[in-house]
């Protein structure tokens, strides 16, 4: 196990992360670093952007939870956003403590005008949240 979520946020807040060396610092790069940090799972394969992570996540590694008005992600979950006007690729972020059914608190990279990693507050509906991925425990 790597850094706790709070230590991870402290380490990368206001920094840019380019995990794969392609396309500069993107939201997917931060998610890949987090997944590498928590270990034991693979990052979902992507075909056309971050929005594909929910659909393509491997069931042996991830529990998929669809966004609904009656739930919210636990801290550390990978939150996947659908495409929306002006962003055909979607977005991906890491849920932080304090999420509610109405407000998503997350750690993002390349959101809005913030290109570096930053603490963000989202609206599930207007920001087009598809759902989130929760790491499955290793088999006993």
Sole residue written with tokens 């608190």: 105
21-43: average pLDDT: 91
For residues 17 and 133, give the distance between their C-alpha atoms in angstroms, rounded to a whole number.
21
**For a pLDDT cut of 70, what percent of the chain falls above it?**
96
Q: Per-residue confidence at 140, pLDDT binned at 50, 70, 90?
A: very low
Mind listing the domains of the chain with CATH numbers? 5-135 (3.90.1720.10)
- pLDDT-derived band of residue 112, with 50, 70 and 90 as boundaries? confident
CA pair distance 51, 68, nearest whole angstrom? 17
Instruction: Provide, for the chain, the percentages of residues in helix, strand and coil under a 3-state DSSP scheme, each rounded to the nearest 5.
Output: 20, 30, 55
In this predicted structure, what is the pLDDT of residue 22?
87
Contact predicate 17/51, CB 8 Å: no
**pLDDT tier at 96 (50, 70, 90 boundaries)?**
very high
Query: pTM for the full model?
Result: 0.94
Least Cα distance to 31 among 50, 15, 10 occurs for 50
């Amino acid at each position: 196990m790597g850094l706790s979520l709070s230590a991870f946020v402290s380490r990368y807040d206001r920094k840019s992360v380019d995990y794969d060396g392609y396309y500069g610092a993107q939201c997917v790069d931060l998610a890949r670093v987090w997944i590498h940090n928590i270990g034991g799972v693979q990052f979902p394969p992507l075909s056309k952007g971050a929005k594909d992570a929910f659909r393509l996540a491997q069931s042996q590694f991830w529990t998929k939870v669809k966004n609904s008005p009656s739930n919210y992600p636990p801290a550390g979950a990978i939150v996947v956003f659908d495409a929306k006007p002006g962003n055909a690729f979607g977005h991906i972020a890491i849920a932080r403590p304090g999420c509610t059914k109405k407000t998503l608190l997350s750690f993002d990279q390349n959101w809005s005008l913030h290109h570096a990693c930053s603490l963000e507050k989202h609206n599930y509906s207007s920001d087009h949240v598809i759902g989130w991925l929760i790491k499955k425990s290793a088999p006993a």
